[in-house]
């Protein structure tokens, strides 16, 4: 087990190496939460969602939301990766882990024992929503500092212990909502095979979707990043694809571990990008293993295409314009745009 007094330069350790397999929440016949602030989705197609404090969350994770709000206390140096569903979370987890843990685990190709070569990124960086929903939030206490964790919660749902704590930082990633919906649809059909894309699209336009309303999710973190740029780093998936090395440098500076001149000369940022590339991660045996599952999703389901613009294969131009119009109207005046 890792030493809890390890220096911060060592970075985080894989969750699975310290705590074992990620616990899986057990569905309850009775939903948690205050009846006045929680309501189920009106559609059978989205029956796994409920509305809590104006946001749409999976019913299975609602107990976790409450537990995080009521009992999570960050440590100084903690880093939270936040994102809507299917917006590059797996890739960002890998990049952040490789960047922060590079002292203990150099990313160069010669180091074949790097955790990301034997573990899925989700085994390295735990999803708080799942962990707390399973009643296992205390497992976080076993991780040495600095800890790296993730959430799909809206900024408005995060407790003040995170949002008002300058010792805890947030790295946020989002993507074009059209591509997010397409990726989410492919993913969710593992659970709801009869879910049509048109149904999911219609609900998303009404704000009803995983991480919905998507515009509120994005705006919450965008506004927080504008108000406190030293605390919230706002990234866009499309920009990450275009400039992965520069964005990895930005991430390293943000978490207080900038690349040294020697590391720059050695090309460490590029080594991290190569190690964490979609092609590399998808090719690994651990990420091809259909028997390794979390919440009924096998590891290979986290690696579909990893590209921008796939929405053109699923949406008509009218559908695309409709969603673009809704999103741009919601973002009007914020300084943020997906156009």
Catalytic residue at 217? no
182 vs 187: CA distance, rounded Å: 9
> Per the structure block, which two tokens stand in for 98?
């490789």
Catalytic one of 85, 105, 122, 152? 152
161 vs 124: CA distance, rounded Å: 23
Instruction: Write out the catalytic residue numbers.
Output: 152
């Amino acid at each position: 087990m890792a030493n809890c007094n390890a220096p911060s330069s060592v970075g985080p350790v894989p969750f699975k190496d310290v705590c074992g397999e990620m616990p899986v929440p057990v569905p309850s016949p009775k939903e948690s939460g205050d009846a006045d602030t929680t309501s189920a989705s009106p559609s059978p197609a989205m029956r796994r969602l409920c509305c809590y404090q104006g946001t749409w969350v999976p019913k299975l994770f609602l107990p976790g939301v409450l537990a995080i709000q009521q009992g999570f206390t960050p440590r100084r140096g903690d880093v939270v990766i936040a994102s809507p569903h299917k917006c590059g979370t797996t890739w960002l987890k890998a990049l952040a882990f490789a960047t922060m843990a590079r002292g203990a685990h150099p990313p160069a190709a010669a180091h074949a024992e790097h955790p990301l070569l034997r573990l899925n990124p989700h085994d390295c960086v735990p999803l708080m929503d799942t962990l707390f929903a399973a009643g296992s939030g205390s497992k976080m206490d076993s991780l040495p500092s600095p800890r790296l964790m993730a959430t799909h919660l809206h900024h408005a749902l995060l407790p003040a212990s995170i949002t008002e704590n300058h010792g805890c930082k947030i790295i946020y990633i989002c993507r074009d909502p059209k591509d997010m919906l397409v990726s989410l649809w492919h993913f969710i059909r593992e659970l709801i095979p009869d879910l049509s894309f048109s149904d999911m699209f219609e609900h998303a336009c009404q704000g009803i979707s995983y991480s919905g309303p998507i515009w509120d999710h994005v705006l919450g973190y965008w506004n927080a990043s504008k108000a406190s740029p030293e605390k919230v780093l706002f990234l866009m998936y499309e920009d990450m694809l275009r400039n992965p090395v520069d964005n990895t440098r930005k991430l390293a500076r943000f978490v207080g571990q900038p690349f040294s001149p020697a590391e720059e000369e050695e090309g460490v940022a590029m080594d991290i990008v190569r190690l964490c590339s979609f092609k590399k991660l998808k090719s690994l045996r651990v990420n091809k293993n259909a028997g390794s599952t979390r919440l009924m999703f096998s590891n290979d389901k986290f690696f579909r295409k990893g590209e921008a613009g796939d929405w053109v294969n699923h949406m008509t131009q009218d559908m695309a314009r409709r969603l673009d119009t809704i999103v741009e109207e919601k973002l009007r005046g914020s300084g943020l745009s997906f156009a």
